[in-house]
Structure 1
């Protein structure tokens, strides 16, 4: 599991659940406005959504990996996932491309972090 900064818990939950088809695994109130929010994809991996609480953390939202792709969303059906994400308003920064390892396209989450949507080529 890795921490992922968001400006608002509910906004983060909505994006990951609706646009990326993640499941909400846990949402526990820790008091004082803090929550333990864990989201996970169908192909594994979990994110702990952390609401930014100070200027330094707020400045890191959208640049958590310095502008590089930092997360890789594995897909079993690239075309269907691409359609669902596009319909939800996800910004793809390029057209899907076919590489020797599979089909891939870079997209940005609502805060500006770049991700890869990738369907790995199946071994023959």
Structure 2
């Protein structure tokens, strides 16, 4: 058994797709109309057949409450990995990405946290 899809609530699918592809560098995998929204997924450019991230509309009070609670408490909604967090930090900062925590050591890893502009904090780690 393996994980093939995971979801992240976003407040605007169009804005999320732009951020996750143009800024973070993911690749759009699926973009299928689904009523008022879209089945919209992105994947890592390094693993196009890997786990898909669904940019899930938060058009539900439970999703909005969950997303807002995490944001207010400063809790990342998910985590992405990188081989060089300092270089990734510089690259993302040059694109105007807002970090709530700059890279810092935490035991055997380094981590940072940034705002995805779509209602989420994302933790970035280097192992």
TM-score (norm 1): 0.77
Does the CA-based 8 Å contact 2:112-2:123 persist in structure 1? yes
| Number of equivalenced pairs | 119
TM-superposed CA distance for 1:57, in Å, is: 3.6
Match of 1:38 in 2: 41
Match of 2:59 in 1: 53
> For the residues of structure 1 that align with 2:111 and 2:61, how far apart are their CA atoms?
34
Match of 2:18 in 1: 14
Alignment of 1:53-92 (within 5 A): 53-63=59-69, 67-92=74-99
> For the residues of structure 2 that align with 1:108 and 1:83, how far apart are their CA atoms?
15
Unmatched runs of 5 consecutive residues or more in structure 1: none
The structure in which a higher percent of residues are helix is: 2
Unmatched runs of 5 consecutive residues or more in structure 2: none
> For the residues of structure 1 that align with 2:70 and 2:53, how far apart are their CA atoms?
13
SS at match of 2:112: strand
Does the CA-based 8 Å contact 2:85-2:125 persist in structure 1? yes
RMSD: 2.4
1:99 matched to 2:106? The reply is yes
1:2 matched to 2:9? The reply is no
Q: 1:24 aligns with which of 28, 41, 44?
A: 28
Does the CA-based 8 Å contact 2:10-2:120 persist in structure 1? no
TM-superposed CA distance for 1:25, in Å, is: 0.8
SS at match of 1:105: strand
Match of 1:114 in 2: 121
TM-superposed CA distance for 1:17, in Å, is: 0.9
> For the residues of structure 2 that align with 1:119 and 1:67, how far apart are their CA atoms?
20
